């Protein structure tokens, strides 16, 4: 995560937390999205972080002492998601594994379907090259078709070229943030 992406994280948290409730973020990184989520006073805030150095930094910064924060120190692929079935109102993952190998994409979609509250949970994503047609194609890849719930945008000042943002280049850009509502099924038992 780059500092210039802070407006995207603020907008993502706003969309993610608009219903309050229980929020999941996969990957703490610099903590920008998590700090933004905390400003929305959600009921619970679960963070999955597998990198040992990032985890140590989180602990040193006091994240484990926050009253509504739970940290899962594990790679997302190794989490027992059955323990979180139907628990979350919103999920954020930066970056969504759009460029991952197909089996990782399928695994992540299955995790989302499992952990989101049935028919109400939302998944927020953004990207410098994402547009409505790409997001709709991604939504169609869920077994039960996901719905483009809402779209908002924010202004990002890209200060220097990075591989992820190369297509937009350096300068001021309006970038869209997308919220997908993912129809879920009830998971009563394993």
| Every domain of the chain and the residues it spans | 3-181
Res. 164: pLDDT tops 80: no
DSSP helix/strand/coil, 106: helix
Res. 2: pLDDT tops 60: yes
pLDDT digits (tens, 9 = 90+) for 7-53: 989 999 999 998 889 999 999 988 999 999 999 989 999 999 999 99
Res. 184: pLDDT tops 70: no
Residue 145: the pLDDT is 74
Separation of alpha carbons 56 and 185, rounded Å: 36
Residue 185: the pLDDT is 60
Residue 129: the pLDDT is 77
H, E, C per residue of 36-76: HHHCCCCCEEEEECCCHHHHHHHHHCCHHHCCCEEEECCCH
3-181 CATH fold: Rossmann fold (3.40.50)
Res. 188: pLDDT tops 50: no
Residue 139: the pLDDT is 84
DSSP helix/strand/coil, 158: strand
């Amino acid at each position: 995560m780059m500092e210039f992406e802070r407006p995207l994280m603020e907008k993502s948290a706003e969309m993610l937390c608009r219903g309050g409730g229980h929020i999941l973020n996969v990957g703490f990184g610099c903590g920008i999205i998590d700090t933004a989520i905390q400003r929305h006073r959600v009921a619970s805030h679960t963070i999955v972080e597998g990198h040992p150095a990032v985890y140590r930094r989180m602990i040193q910064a006091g994240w484990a002492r926050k009253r509504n924060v739970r940290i899962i120190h594990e790679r997302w692929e190794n989490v027992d998601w059955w323990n979180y079935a139907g628990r979350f109102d919103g999920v954020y993952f930066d970056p969504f594994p759009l460029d991952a190998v197909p089996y990782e994409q399928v695994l992540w979609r299955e995790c989302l379907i499992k952990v989101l509250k049935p028919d109400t949970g939302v998944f927020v994503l953004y990207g410098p090259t994402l547009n409505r047609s790409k997001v709709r194609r991604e939504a169609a890849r869920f077994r039960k078709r996901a719905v483009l719930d809402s779209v908002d945008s924010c202004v990002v000042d890209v200060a220097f070229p990075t591989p992820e943002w190369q297509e937009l280049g350096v300068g001021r850009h309006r970038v869209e943030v997308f919220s997908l509502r993912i129809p879920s099924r009830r998971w009563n038992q394993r």
